[in-house]
Amino acid sequence: MDNERTLKIQLRQALDEVLPPAPWLEAAVRDDLRKRRTSRSADRGLGLRMAWPRSGMQIAAGLLIVVLAAAAVAALIDFRYRSTHVAPAAIDVPAYEAMVSRHIDQLVTAGNGVDCTTLQSRCPTPGWPVVTAEKQFLADLNGSEPPARFAVIDAQMRRHVVVAIADLNAVVAAYTAQDQTGLDRANYLLGSQGNWIVTIGHAIAQSHEGSGAAYVESVRTANQNLALCTGCQPLELTGSVDCTGIQAVLCEADVVYAKSDVESVEAALASVGAPNSLAAQDALLQRDLARADSGLLEMSNAQLTDDQAAFEAGRLLLQQALPAINADIAGILGG
């Protein structure tokens, strides 16, 4: 009896350390102990010797305490995880367009950050208004689930905002180091990111559902820039003279021009929603454009840090995406 009382105390102490015991737990343990006593009494009456040795009973009880305590801890962890990890809120098309429009207006009001152009400039601190505006924009993008129509371009917007913040930090770092060449490079790439964010942001904010004819015409117009992409052509050639050095002025210009031409098609798809008859082809084109866009982002990031391997990885992604984009557009325009 003393041993059973001791075990009950130990059991309660183990559970109290991790969670208030469930209402049924104490009753269940009490019933189990009562059954064990009844069983042992019956066994003795029959002359059977089936009671566990004292040491075996203690080991089993100890294991029971550990198992119950572990289960309680797991329940607590699961409860805390579920209560603190809330899925992003899904918003409809008008709400998403309004949110993007609001943040683009804030970015434009805050300035693009490209005002620290020379070592003699009075450059602001890393906490300047445009950085704050970009971080707020990113927080709202991460805190919401976009409508399906904007899912792909939303993911790209997040990437561009992150890169724009990195470019702004590079501007400050180059100015602090009194590195005019680095300052020129960071400002050039920063300007390109700012143009992408504002252009795509306006396309989303002004978006509307289009007829089949309106959608095809929008893609056709945007494709005129992509077909003449002067920046894409040298980047498609691995041995291009322009990018013998990835931080060369010509190579930086190629990346910026290519990004602008891919951006024109991304903006066209964001501004005019595809009709149901072209929805599958539109989705495929959006995904391939995102691959090309991501490759260009990798290349521009690599130019900031002079990372040849990362630049080549981004170039490979672009090289793989461009033929797919051309095929996608041909299918849409041919239809």
The predicted-structure confidence for 243-297, as pLDDT tens digits, reads as follows: 889 999 999 999 999 999 999 999 999 999 999 999 999 999 999 999 999 999 9
pLDDT computed for residue 62 by the predictor: 56
**Predicted TM-score of the model (pTM):** 0.70
Neighbours of 240 (CB within 10 A): 15
On whether both 248 and 264 belong to a single domain, the answer is yes
Residue 77 has pLDDT above 60, yes or no: no
Give 194-212 pLDDT, tens digit per residue: 899 999 999 999 999 888 9
* 154-181 per-position pLDDT tens digit: 999 999 999 999 988 888 888 889 899 9
Tell me the DSSP string of 173-192: HHHHTT-HHHHHHHHHHHHH
In this structure, the answer to whether residues 304 and 269 fall within a common structural domain is yes
Q: Answer whether residue 100 shows pLDDT above 80.
A: yes
Task: Kindly state the helix (H) or strand (E) to which residue 267 belongs, with its residue range.
Answer: helix 249-271
State whether 298 and 274 are in the same domain: yes
Same domain, 172 and 197: yes
Domain count of the chain? 3
What pLDDT does 107 receive?
A: 87
pLDDT tens-digit map of 35-64? 545 554 444 443 433 333 445 555 555 555
Q: What is the mean pLDDT of residues 104-133?
A: 75
Could you tell me the CATH number of the domain that includes residue 273?
Answer: 1.20.1440
Distant-in-sequence, close-in-space partners of 188: CB < 8 Å, separation ≥ 6: 252, 256
Is residue 304 located within the same domain as residue 333?
yes
pLDDT at 295: 96
Closest to 204 (Cα-Cα) out of 297, 102, 282: 102
* pLDDT at 148 exceeding the cut of 50: yes
Whether 98 contacts 140, CB under 8 Å: no
The pLDDT of residue 88: 67
Same domain for 99 and 178, yes or no, is: yes
253 lies in the same domain as 283: yes
Give the structural domain span for 287: 207-335
Q: How far is CA 44 from CA 38, 51, 110, 159, 186, in A?
A: 10, 9, 87, 75, 88
57 lies in the same domain as 106: no
Tokens of 168: 């702004």
